[in-house]
Amino acid sequence: MKAAIRQMALDRGFDDCRFTTAAPPPHQAALQTWLATGQNGEMAWLARNADKRLDPQLVLPGARTIITLATSYAGPSADQPPAPASGVVARYARHADYHDVLAPRLRTLSDQLNHLGGPDTRSLWYVDTGPLLERDLAQRAGLGFAGKHTNLISRRLGNWFFLSEIITTLALEPDPPERNHCGTCTRCLTACPTQAITAPFQLDARRCISYLTIELKGAIPVPLRPAIGNRIYGCDDCLAACPWNRFAQTGRLMQAHTRPDLAQPDLLELLRLDAAAFKARFAGSPIVRTKRRGLLRNVCVALGNTGTPAALPELTRATHDPDPLIAEHAHWALTQIVCRSAPA
């Protein structure tokens, strides 16, 4: 039955499919310590459902198996020379929202699993949406291993893939776990612009650029703004530094959902977006998560770090934006460019 399920997953565009038990994940204590020290920042939902993350039986009583799936988003268009006055969007977000792409496939696969298991089989599917410690479970299933940057690495797919899961009451033989293959490499620690990777396998989300530009809803701390550079949604630096990417395969499924317009968006064009234009521009993209205020906050920081005097008129206009978050960051950016352009 495992072989049939794996083939069904591959037929639906998933790039890997592995199986593990529904026993508690091995790094329960590490999660509890991480939460207790506040390193999750404003991501309070991680603490609210921590009990479920520590015990899959609280997610689905009677669960026997967790199926972990990988979907590659690697592609040849990921590495392009930077365009002038452009922003950088994390590679995963240069596609249609992966939740929308993967959800119907997971739903179908889950229904087929219930059919195979019989009338008493129950299954739940998640794509980065459920209270599961998914990287722990994926490593135990042999899908990959947690790198020193705390993300999952696959020896077949590198760092560029999404995780999703199906938790089920159907009993299936688990696959052997993957062991760590980082060795002595510390490239990801060196690559992090904000030193958010405080030690191997330890991440302080409050310093992570992905957190600062996506999850953080308020002002970006001033001392961290210069390190953000021209990144306006997420950061790939620690992932891109990993030598396992030499084995990355172009994603079969996500390649068809690439958004070329998000590869190198023009910062000044983005700064001009009103609410309606923002929704139209980013419909179906993960970037809608930040809302207009979050994205334009990030755009202002990027302009403050990389902009030229040509950006001053638009930034001046943005200092009068009705949203005080945008206005404050625009004023900061304006000051940065003026100081940088002043004669020595």
* Number of neighbours of residue 333 by Cβ within 10 angstroms: 28
87 backbone dihedrals φ, ψ, rounded to 5°: -105, 165
Residues across the chain: 344
Three-state DSSP at 165 gives strand
Residue 86, exposed/middle/buried by CB under 10 A (0-12, 13-18, 19+)?
buried
β-pairing verdict for 161-168 and 123-126 = antiparallel
Pairing between β-strand 231-233 and β-strand 202-203 as defined by DSSP bridges? unpaired
Point out the catalytic residue in the list 11, 111, 128, 261. Answer: 128
With beta carbons less than 8 A apart as the criterion, state whether 302 and 230 touch.
Answer: yes
Using alpha carbons, select from 289, 282, 281, 315 the residue that is nearest to residue 301: 315
Nearest in space to 317 (alpha carbons), one of 301, 331, 335, 303: 331
Instruction: Tell me, yes or no, if 128 is annotated catalytic.
Output: yes
SS3 161: strand
Catalytic residues: 128
